[in-house]
Copies of this chain bind each other. A is one copy, B any other.
């Protein structure tokens, strides 16, 4: 049973611990592998309009995601989300649960579409998962990500309409 709730300040030490190995690896997010706790707090908690935490039935934290408008006013009906699953919690459907939750939250908050700006091409399990969730790979950005191990690799823009648009 995966439960997803709004982030509250006491969650921070646990999710920071969970995020660190992901950022340090430099394989999936553009943040510096040497990102500080303060910078991470700003990026994951302060800048987004909402942050969520996924836990199991024992209240153990499994993952976290944020949601925010992807552009300002005239593009603010499209949201952007970022997801992190703890290394101990892989292959348990946590990312899928968070992605589904984020789409419901997005619609509830009035967003009409969701955009991922920089899905790293070498992160194949993520690309597969977003496709399964109905995201379209709308474009490839050649060499747009400097992967810590592999050097410059392509990144994808992925997009899903949540509400069919009209005038």
Please list the residues of chain A having a beta carbon within 8 angstroms of any beta carbon in chain B.
Answer: 26, 29-33, 43, 71-78, 112-113, 115, 117-118, 138-148, 150-152, 155, 157, 159, 161, 165-167
Contacts and interface: CB of A to CB of B under 8 A. Distances in A.
B145 A165 contact: no
This protein's copies in its complex: 2
Given A166-B151, A166-B152, A74 B145 contact: yes
19 contacts: A29-B74, A30-B72, A30-B73, A30-B74, A32-B72, A32-B73, A33-B74, A43-B72, A75-B146, A77-B152, A78-B141, A115-B144, A142-B159, A142-B161, A142-B165, A144-B159, A150-B167, A151-B167, A152-B165
A77 B138 contact: no
Contacts of A152: 77, 112, 165-167
Contacts of A29: 74
B165 A143 contact: yes
Contact of A157 (B139, B143, B146, B161): B139
A121 B148 CA distance: 35
Contacts of A33: 73-74
Contact of A145 (B75, B146, B159): B75
Interface centre among A30, A32, A166 (most CB of B within 10 A): A30
